[in-house]
Amino acid sequence: MNRLLKTFLLMATIFSQAQTKSTDDVSHLQNFPVIEFRRYRIKAGEREHFARYFESYFPEAIQQVGAIAFGQFFERADSSHFTWIRGFHDVDDRATANGALYSGPLWKEHRDTMNQLMLDSDNVLLLHPLRPEKGIAVLPAVDPVHELEGAQGVIVAQIFAIKAHSSDAFAQQSEAVFAKYRSSGAREAGVLVTLDVPNNFPKLPFRADGPFLVWLGVLKDDKQFKTQFESLANRSSESLAATGLLRSSPELVVMDPAPRSRLRWLPEWQR
pLDDT digits (tens, 9 = 90+) for 153-212: 999 999 999 999 999 999 999 999 999 999 999 999 999 999 999 999 999 999 999 999
Q: Which overall architecture, per CATH, does domain 34-137+146-262 show?
A: 2-Layer Sandwich (3.30)
pLDDT of residue 196: 97
Residue 7 pLDDT class (50, 70, 90 cuts): very low
pLDDT of residue 22: 56
Alpha carbons 177 and 229: distance in angstroms, whole number: 12
Q: What's the rounded mean pLDDT across residues 32-59?
A: 98
pLDDT digits (tens, 9 = 90+) for 97-141: 999 999 999 999 999 999 999 999 999 999 999 999 999 999 999
Measured torsion, CA atoms of residues 150, 75, 184, 138, in degrees rounded to the nearest 10: 50
Q: Whole-prediction pTM value?
A: 0.90
Q: Can you give the residue ranges of every domain in the chain?
A: 34-137+146-262
